[in-house]
Amino acid sequence: MAGVKGKSGSKGKPNKQKQLSGSRRVNQDAVEFATITSAEPPNWLDELARGMWETICPLLCQEKILAVTDLHNVEAFCSAYSTFRLSIVEISEKGLVIEGATGGPIKNPALTSKNEALRQMSSFGAALGLDPAARGRLMGTNGGDKGNAFGEF
């Protein structure tokens, strides 16, 4: 909402990311949750989701990004990843168009499922810093040039 305090403009960085990026706008009185060093995947995750959990959790813990309060984002990301992969298998097996209840051609519902899962992965992945743009927003540039090979052009 344009012009409404607190509702317009870009979202602020979490305080920890402000500290890591060298920002001078760090809130010294902010509540900080302790990061975790490891986390076991929940039992309800299927094999695909569990594999993604075991891939990203160690990396997030290594970078000291993951707190217990973030685990629901990891669960949601991994679950969406599994839905995405299962939808792709369904689409590859049955095609983009399938036979509907009345016998006519309809769009494969797995396409909608795949697209929703992609949106969820994008949203939760950004919250966790799992894409390059999100990592840049979360970590900042730390005030200097990091050796851009195209900087001289």
Q: Is residue 1 part of a domain?
A: no
Query: Is 4 a domain residue?
Result: no
Flag whether 83 is in a domain.
Answer: yes
Q: Where are the alpha helices (DSSP H) in 2-144?
A: 15-21, 47-62, 71-94, 109-128, 132-139
The residue length of the chain stands at 153
Name the one residue in this structure whose structure tokens are 């992609």: 118
DSSP H or E segment with residue 97: strand 97-99
Helix axes 109-128, 132-139, angle to 10 degrees: 20
Residue 135 above 80 pLDDT?
A: no
Number of domains in the chain: 1
Q: What is the pLDDT of residue 96?
A: 96
Please tell me the predicted confidence (pLDDT) of residue 2: 61
Given pLDDT bands bounded at 50, 70 and 90, which one contains residue 144? very low
Would 65 be classed as within a structural domain?
yes
In a domain, 17, yes or no: no
Cα distances (Å, whole numbers) of residue 108 to 88, 98, 113, 117: 11, 6, 9, 15
- Is residue 19 in some structural domain? no
Whether residue 80 lies inside any domain: the answer is yes
Residue 79 is part of which domain span?
A: 32-131
Does residue 15 fall inside a structural domain? no
What does residue 35 show for φ and ψ, rounded to 5 degrees?
-75, 160
Residue at token pair 């939808």 = 87
Token reading at 128: 């966790």
Q: For residues 86 and 150, which has the higher predicted lDDT (pLDDT)?
A: 86
In angstroms, the CA 54 to CA 57 distance is 6
